[in-house]
Each structure stands twice: as C-alpha cells, then as structure tokens.
Amino acid sequence: MRYETLHSLQIPKIGFGTWTIGGQSAPDPTVDESSELALRSALDIGYRHFDTAESYAGGHAEEILGKVVREMRVPREHLFITSKVSPDHLHPEDVLRSCENSLRRLQMEYLDLYLIHWPRSGMNLAETFQALNQLVRAGKVRWLGVSNFNLKLLKQAAALSETPLLTNQVPYSLPDQTYIKNGVLEYCQQNDILLTAYSPLKHRYVAGNQVLKSIAQARGVSTHQAALAWLTTQPRVISIPTSFNPQHQAENFAAADIVLSDAEMARLSMGKH
C-alpha cells in the first residue's frame, strides 16, 4: 500500500467507503450480515482507512463498522476513521451533537477526520467551523475536512480551520473530471490538501474504454485497477471505493501500488481510443 504523507500523517492511497453498509438512506437489517462480512474481509485484506457518515443507513453504517472493528480487535491507533456531519446539522450545537452521536454509534473516543458532508445554501460556515475547531481542541476529532465543496467554499473552509484542512472529498473518476476543470484539484495539490475521490469507478465507462483495456492488459491488471491507478498515481489524490466482493476489495487495495507512467496518464486523461 502506498500512502500520502502530510502533516506527519500517513494516509493510505486506497480506503474503504461504507456507503450501502447497513442500508442506504435508512437502516436495512437484511444487509447486516453481508455488510459485516464485507468489513471483515476488508480488514483482513489490510484496509485501515474507513470512510463513513452519520447519514449512511441513518447512522447504522457507523454502528456496524464499530461492531466489526471491536470483534476483530483491531487496535484503534492502527485505523483512520472518517465520518461526516450532514448539511442539516451545520448549526454549532448540532455539529457538536452529531459528532457525539457518531462517536457513540462507533463506540470510539475520537474520529481521525470529520467532514462537512455537503455545503448548504445560506449556511454560516464561520459558525460551523467554530464548532468543528472546538471538537479538535477537545480531542474528539483529530483533523477537519469538507466534501463536495467548490473552489470558493474550499478556500473559505481552509481559512476558517484552526488546523490544516486535510481533504475535500468529491466525485472524481476518469469520466468525471469536474474537479480538475473547476480548479479544486490544482488548489489542493498546491496547498497540501488531499482530494479524496469517491465514486471512482464508473463501471460502464471502465468496461468500454479501450485505452484502459490496453493499459490494463499490458500490465496484467484489471481495467478497474487501471482506473483506480489513474487516480492514485496523482499527487495528493486518494480514493475510497466500495465493494462487498472480497476479490474486488483485494484488487482495489492492490491498485494503490500501481504507478502509471506519464505517457499512460496522458493517454487516459486525453481519452484517446
């Protein structure tokens, strides 16, 4: 596993996203067993960065993640746990309450990283960050970040965070390069902020892209691995794919060790077929 190193932290290039663990927007007990098996498999493979949110399965994803970590007796200091506060909870008192609730569901004493999940129109970002900074000072949260922020909001957040803003988590993949075009990636790279790519694998695109196929075939890897490697080869970019399939989990994890050449990166970025 390759890592991004910044602010004395080493963060895996590939983490594990927990959207659909325990359900989607609400808890779904019928997927509890498969969710626990997926997390157990991920931990066995070596995943140590897990990304969750209070809104995932209505908080149930956090409960299942905490349960599996405890049952597998993974030392807390070996894990990097990210969670997120929902846009409906950005008032300072709500931020503090949301964090406490996430910690209670996880049964953990602190979060490594806490994000604003989505910006909200009319939000008072300064007040929200007062509460977020308070959580860091109290030791409940180690690092702060945001998600789905455009360049203007990202700059505001970076200025308001008392500790270095760690990440902006955004949709980023070969077919979706919005956050290159809007200047966010360049700003992150110039200011030591991680860009965390979610939804990194667009399966129809991956299946039909001839450049990906040729690069993957030449390297003896899957097209999905080549697509992830396009992300993780970039400086200050990490990714959090999700899979319930142990083989796919292992392939995703191994993709972090594939470093594409400048020529391969250019071919993929230009979309040559």
Strand order across the beta sheet in which 167-171 lies: 16-17, 49-51, 80-85, 111-116, 141-147, 167-171, 194-198, 237-239
Q: Is 259 exposed, middle or buried (0-12, 13-18, 19+ CB in 10 A)?
A: exposed
Coil, helix or strand at residue 186: helix
Q: Indicate the pairing of strand 9-12 with strand 3-6.
A: antiparallel
Tokens 């931990």 appear where? 43
For residue 82, the Cα-to-chain-centroid distance in whole angstroms is 8
Hey, how many other C-beta atoms are within 10 angstroms of the C-beta on 56?
A: 26
Among residues 137, 139, 94, the alpha carbon closest in space to that of 116 is found at: 94
Indicate if 56 belongs to the active site.
yes
Contact yes or no for 170/179 (Cβ under 8 A)? yes
Catalytic-labelled residue, pool 56, 114, 172, 179: 56
Q: How far apart are the first and last CA of the chain?
A: 30
Q: How far apart are CA 249 and CA 113, in angstroms?
A: 22
Residue 80's SS3 state is strand
From CA 222, how far away is CA 61, in angstroms rounded? 29
Query: Would you name the residues annotated as active-site residues?
Result: 56
